[in-house]
Structure 1
Amino acid sequence: MTQALVRDEAAIRETFAEHEEGMRLRDPARIVARYAPEVVTATLAPPLRHTGADARDVEALAGWMAGFEGPITLEYRDLEVVVSGDVAFAHGLARLAAVPVGYPEGFSMWMRTTVGLRRREGRWLVTHSHDSVPFHMDGSFLAATDLLP
């Protein structure tokens, strides 16, 4: 791997670390600062997708964060990063853990994550982010939030 690819991969992994830190610090501005203006996100919560300004809405993300007490933990694992020029793709697993307001106990769940990035003015920005949880295909259609890597 060339030095440039090593630097690019390190910079991309840093965007994931920024997301983890933004969640830990409950800093929505830090999270959306990673997003390109035309970003498309598919998060676990409805609707099916957010685009552009809606995906970069700091107030909406702060409102979502307000639904939890204490820390919100996001942990990325098994990330594979592929870079080609000014475009990159990453996929892996992520664990989200938090305590919803009014609940005595929290939750911890693993999900799949896929992220597309583009280099803009020397900086890697997220242009597409998709998180998903599989569901049981037994007719119950319940989310399989109990799966572990």
Structure 2
Amino acid sequence: MTDEQEIRTLIENWVTAVHTGDLATVLTDHAPDIVMFDVPPPYDGVRGLDAYRETWPGFFEWQRSGATFALESLEVTAGSDVAFAFALLRCGTPDENPSLRLRLTIGLRKTDDRWTVTHEHHSFPHDDVPPAVATADVRSILDHWTTDTATRDLDALMDPIAEDVVSYEVNGNYAGKPAVREVCKSGLESTTGPITFTTPDTVVKASGNLAIAWGIDHVTTAGVDTESRSTRVFTHTPQGWQLIHQHLSYPSTS
């Protein structure tokens, strides 16, 4: 067996042991002075085999909820007494982003003709959207709703709406995209003349993969302008920003 094959087998056995919760095998072939940069804190790393051991019980408990930990790709480069490997792994529950991959880099050294892991670095790609970009994207959705309302393009209006959206409308509460679609369809069909929808003073605040927009909606039909208060919540998905909740109301006149 070549050094590369030996290291590949070592890592494959480690991945299998992590997935099955076999702590003894997870610790096998790891150096007493191992340093691990993990996804959670501490940010300066987990140092030493005892500290490394303590990171795993909580992870094993999470895996029992139905999570996957499986090797997808692995590359190994070995010298005479130092080696490194990098890999991508599926690590997540079924309801999480299926395209997300855990990134893994491993450093090894050879002592007494045996390869041992001296360093592990685990990370997920940082996919939070910068606030300025998120704000511009949400405003673009509102602008497109203005255009799509004027052209009565129901399909385009529905495109950025999540399947599990919950909408508190003026005339009732609606759950799910089909229900919200029927509300919009009814509104578009309620008049044959020009119809406009604008949100001129909407405020948008975004952080990470969540954005909230609030302001006054202006809807004009048959020359009559109606104003309603609106709060909308968007989340960023692999398909882009999607509306997951909105709340519309008129101020009380009593």
Q: Give the TM interval when normalised to the shorter protein.
A: 0.7 to 0.9
Instruction: Give the Cα–Cα distance (whole angstroms) in 2 for the partners of residues 10 and 145 of structure 1.
Output: 39
Question: CA contact under 8 A between 2:16 and 2:70: conserved in structure 1?
Answer: no
Alignment partners' CA distance in 1, 2:110 and 2:80: 8
Of the three residues 47, 58, 62, the one matched with 1:63 is 58
Mind listing any 5+ residue stretches in structure 2 that lack a counterpart? 132-206, 210-235, 239-254
Partner of 2:103: 112
Q: Superposed, which structure 2 residues align to 1:105-144 within 5 Å?
A: 106-107=95-96, 109-135=100-126, 136=128, 138-139=130-131, 140-141=207-208
CA contact (8 A) 2:70 2:90 kept: yes
Alignment of 1:42-57 (within 5 A): 42-48=37-43, 49-57=45-53
Q: How many residue pairs were aligned?
A: 133
Q: Which runs of 5+ in 1 are unaligned?
A: 1-5, 99-104
Normalising by the residue count of structure 2, what TM-score does the alignment of the two structures yield? 0.46
| Amino acid in the other structure paired with 2:29 | R
**1:11 aligned counterpart, secondary structure:** helix
In the TM superposition, 1:1-149 aligns within 5 A as 7-48=2-43, 49-57=45-53, 59-69=54-64, 72-98=67-93, 106-107=95-96, 109-135=100-126, 136=128, 138-139=130-131, 140-141=207-208
Distance 1:66 1:10, change over 3 A: same
| 8 Å CA contact 1:113, 1:130 repeated in 2 | yes
Query: TM-score when scaled to structure 1?
Result: 0.74
AA of the residue aligned to 1:28: L
Kept in 2: contact 1:116–1:126 (CA 8 A): yes
Contact 1:39 1:55 in 2 (8 A): no
Q: Is contact 2:77-2:84 (8 Å) kept?
A: yes
CA apart distance, 1:72: 4.7
Q: Deviations over 1:125-144 (max 9, x none)?
A: 111110111213523445x9
Alignment partners' CA distance in 2, 1:10 and 1:131:
22
Q: Distance in 2 between matches of 1:26 and 1:145?
A: 31
Point out the more displaced range, 112-121 or 74-83: 74-83
How far has the Cα of 1:78 moved from its partner?
2.8
Could you tell me which residue of structure 1 aligns to residue 243 of structure 2? none
* Mean Cα deviation higher: 62-71 or 76-85: 62-71
Please give the root-mean-square deviation of Cα atoms over the aligned residues, in Å: 2.6
Bigger shift: residues 67-76 or 39-48: 67-76
In structure 2, distance between residues paired with 1:133 and 1:9: 25
Give the share of equivalent positions with the same residue, in percent: 32
Higher alpha-carbon deviation: 30-39 or 133-142 = 133-142
Q: Taking CA–CA contacts closer than 8 Å with sequence separation of 6 or more, which of the two structures ends up with the larger relative contact order? A: 1
Instruction: Please tell me whether Structure 1 or Structure 2 has the larger radius of gyration of its CA atoms.
Output: 2
SS at match of 1:134: coil
Q: Distance in 2 between matches of 1:20 and 1:30?
A: 10
